[in-house]
Each structure stands twice: as structure tokens, then as C-alpha cells.
Amino acid sequence: MIAAASILCPIDFSESSRSALRHAAAIASRFSARLTLLAVHDPLLAEAAELQLGPEQLTTETIKELETFYRHSVDPRPEGVDVRLECAVGKPAPEVLRVAREHACDLIVMASGGATGFRKLFFGSTTERVLRETTVPVLVTYGTEAARPAAAELGRQVRRILVPVDLTDASEHQVLAARSVAEALHVPLLLLHVVEPVRMMLAAQPRHPKVDAERRYRAERQLEAAVAKLPAALKAETLVAFGEPAEEIAKVASDRDAGLIVMGLHSSPMMGPRMGSVTYRVLCLAHRLVLALPPQPVPSTRGAQDGAAREPARTS
């Protein structure tokens, strides 16, 4: 759901991936982006097929199946979209990430569950793995709806964008990304902050009645400051809620009819992008489109510092 030059859509030929493909095609048409469809074969099955059919036949047949799947899923075909079909062998998530990296993709569109994720009650294992390791935004679609979103109707489908922010430094990048989508689709923004309950260490520890009021006041001021940085023409609202974040986010998305939730992924210095428990639960509960944003890389200052250290001191 962003102005992307290159979109990757993994396909496992399930109805869930058909829905993801329809969204990906609509976005590609709306932003004149290149669309790559990727099918990934299990290595053991690929080896067996190659022994039976020959080394090139599996790829040829898969490309034909991708073409048929695209033709039956996206009708009429969107104009101005460069569609590319690709086949890979390996574990699905690593291959998706590899192709996204090698093709310099700006967005990955994939279903929350599919043929490879049916063993998990709520969430597909491939999508989960991609979200935990991606370095590019991922739009997660839900369900197997038969509707075929058109490029001109994306705004009508999204209706409102919900942006749950934790008011850390990462929130600014999240709001800016949501802004670009809102401006492109001409839909309003709703910035939400959920104040979690204070858990006392001791049951007998007294609760200060002014604590919640103060936390709400601070959150409201920070949200207002974030909205003040947005263009006046962009309709943006703020809301502070109390409770468990994932449950409140899903509830607000339903109550305020938000078709898209823009969330941030966490970052670990040693392990890179991580999908936190809140994002995971929102994907399980909300039944909305979710745009997951990886953390912004922090520019290294070591080179500049080293250069400054090597530069000789100047004297007047």
C-alpha cells in the first residue's frame, strides 16, 4: 500500500494467495509498479519432479501454472503493470526474502495463511518467518474473499488507516509511511496510542489515581504534536485507549471501520527486525489489511568519527 516501484507476491496456489495476488495487482496498477509472482518448490519434491520430468520441465510447468493462476485471479488485467513470473527451490520464507533482496523489491504482499500454513491455527508459518526477518515493508492480506479490488477502488476498500504508535522514536517513520498511503488513496488517518495497565509489584501496593490521567495527558500531547507535523489537507484524528494493546487495536479498527493498519516491526541489535507479540496478535485478531514496517536502519557514524580522529588538528 505504498508508492512502490517493485512488488513481490509469493504464490502457493491457495485461495489465500489468490486474494493476496489481487491486492498486489491492484497496488501495482495504482502505482505503476513491477509485479513479480514467485512460486517456491520444496527441494525434495523438486528433485523427484526433475527425475521424472527433467531439470527444465518443472520450471516450465510452474511458470505456466503461475500464468494461469494470474489470468484466472486478475481479470481484467491491470494496465501498465510489468508482470514477471519466477520459480525457486528451497524453503519458502528464505527464498521470498532472497528474491525480494535480489530484485530490490519495495513491498512484499502475502497472505496471512495458505497451503503452507494450515497447521497453524491463526497464522501461516511462512508469513511469520518473513515478518521476523524482512527488511522491506510487508502487506499482509487476510481471508479468501472473492472480491477483486480495482486500483481505483483501493481507497474505498481501505476507508481509514489506523496507525497504532508506541510514541517512541520509531513512531515518526511509521506515521510518515501511513501519511504517504493516506495521501495516495485520499483516506483519513487515525493515530492510536494504547495505555497499558500499570501492574503493581505487590498486591497491597496502593494505586495512585492521578497516574492514568497523567499518562493519558502525555499521550494526547504527543499525538497532537505528531498530527501537527502532517499537512493540513490530510484529515487526521487521534485517540488514546486503555487496555491490552492488540485487543484495543483490533477493537478500534472494527469500531472506526479502518481497512488498513500500519504497524512497525521491532529491531534487535543482534538479530535485526523482529515481529513483536502485539503485531502477531493484531494479525490474528484484526482481520484487516496490515502493513508491517521494518525498523529504519540507523546510519553509522563510525566512519565519520574515524575520519575526524585521523584529521590533523588545525592551528591558527
Question: Which residue shows C-alpha cell 485487543?
Answer: 247
* pLDDT score recorded for residue 267: 62
Q: Where does residue 13 rank: exposed (0-12), middle (13-18), buried (19+ CB within 10 A)?
A: middle
Q: DSSP 3-state assignment of 274?
A: strand
- What is the value of pTM for the model shown? 0.85
Identify the bridge partners of residue 260 per DSSP, sorted by sequence position: 161, 289
Residue 241: φ, ψ to 5°: -125, 160
User: Tens-digit pLDDT profile for the chain (316 aa)?
Assistant: 555 689 999 999 999 999 999 999 999 998 889 999 999 988 888 888 778 877 688 889 999 999 999 999 997 777 778 999 999 999 999 999 999 999 999 999 999 875 443 334 345 688 989 999 999 999 999 876 655 666 667 888 899 999 999 999 889 999 999 999 999 999 999 999 999 887 655 555 555 668 888 999 999 999 999 999 999 899 999 999 999 999 999 999 999 999 999 999 876 555 555 667 888 899 989 999 999 999 876 554 444 444 444 344 333 3
In 3D, which of 290, 273, 294 has the Cα closest to residue 109? 290
* pLDDT score recorded for residue 255: 97
Say which residues have a Cβ less than 8 Å from residue 68's Cβ, sequence separation at least 6.
none
Treating both helix axes as pointing N-terminal to C-terminal, what angle do 210-228 and 170-185 enclose, rounded to 10 degrees? 50
Q: What whole-number distance in Å separates Cα of residue 79 and Cα of residue 70?
A: 14
* pLDDT score recorded for residue 272: 52
User: Which amino acid appears at position 59 of this protein?
Assistant: T
CB 283 within 8 A of CB 123: yes
Based on its alpha-carbon atoms, the radius of gyration of the chain, rounded to whole angstroms, reads 22
* pLDDT score recorded for residue 118: 34
In 3D, which of 5, 38, 44 has the Cα closest to residue 21? 38
Q: What whole-number distance in Å separates Cα of residue 274 and Cα of residue 242?
A: 25
Element (H, E) at 273: strand 272-274
Identify the bridge partners of residue 162 per DSSP, sorted by sequence position: 190, 261
In 3D, which of 293, 303, 315 has the Cα closest to residue 1? 293
Treating both helix axes as pointing N-terminal to C-terminal, what angle do 125-133 and 92-102 enclose, rounded to 10 degrees? 40
- What count of residues does the chain have? 316
CB 100 within 8 A of CB 139: no
Say which residues have a Cβ less than 8 Å from residue 231's Cβ, sequence separation at least 6.
179, 183
